[in-house]
């Protein structure tokens, strides 16, 4: 029953496709692997960037989440009533106020995971794969944060 409520893969891809693609391209820039036309020598360590940037983004995301739900039940009721009215008018299933939870959950979880990966990468800085994953997750967090604030 639970798995029937998960969004289909096409919706995941339409929402997360461009952030993942941008993050892959940006994470590949510092590596002269021949896969990128331009490679750049970056002196900054990915774990330094991630550990200085991601906690601030995480705090921002948690604060924005708290503000949305701290505004009061009246606003959330009005939003839900708007969804119900749209569903009645269009005769197609509309969203729910609960979708706000999922809009925040994935970016916040990704930021927490990025902090953990960056901490491990700081302990093991010689591992190129871990460095690439840290760059990727850092850029992914930036694009996901943009997605959070874009509708505002």
- Kindly report, residue by residue over 79-97, the tens digit of the pLDDT: 778 778 877 777 777 666 6
Residue with tokens 């601030």: 56
Q: Quick one: tokens of 1?
A: 């029953």
* Spatial separation of the C-alpha atoms in residues 145 and 100, rounded to whole Å: 14
Quote the CA–CA distance of 27 and 131 in Å, as a whole number.
Answer: 9
* pLDDT value at residue 114: 96
Query: Residue 56 has what pLDDT?
Result: 94
More confident residue, 9 or 4: 9
Q: Which residue has the tokens 């967090």?
A: 141
**Cα–Cα distance between 47 and 9 in angstroms, integer?**
31
Q: Is 143 exposed, middle or buried (0-12, 13-18, 19+ CB in 10 A)?
A: middle
The pLDDT of residue 4: 60
**Averaged over 12-34, what is the pLDDT?**
73
Burial-class residue 45 by CB neighbours within 10 Å (0-12, 13-18, 19+).
Answer: middle
Task: Write out pLDDT tens, residues 61-70.
Answer: 888 888 877 7
Which residues, at least 6 apart from 113, have a Cβ–Cβ distance to it below 8 Å? 137
What are the structure tokens assigned to 65, written together? Answer: 């989440």
HEC secondary structure over 65-93 = HHHHHHCCHHHHHHHHHHHHHHHHHHCCC
């Amino acid at each position: 029953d639970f798995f029937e409520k998960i969004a289909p893969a096409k919706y995941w891809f339409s929402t997360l496709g461009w952030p993942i693609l941008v993050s892959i391209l940006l994470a590949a820039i510092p590596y002269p692997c021949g896969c990128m036309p331009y490679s750049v020598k970056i002196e900054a360590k990915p774990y330094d960037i991630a550990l200085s940037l991601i906690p601030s983004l995480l705090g921002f995301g948690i604060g924005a989440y708290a503000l949305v739900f701290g505004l009061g039940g009246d606003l959330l009721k009005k939003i839900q009533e708007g969804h119900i009215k749209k569903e009645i008018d269009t005769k197609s299933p509309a969203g729910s106020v609960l979708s706000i939870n999922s809009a925040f959950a994935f970016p916040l979880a990704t930021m927490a995971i990025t902090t953990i990966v960056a901490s491990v990468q700081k302990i093991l800085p010689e591992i190129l794969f871990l460095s690439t994953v840290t760059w990727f997750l850092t850029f992914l967090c930036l694009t996901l944060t943009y997605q959070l604030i874009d509708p505002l």
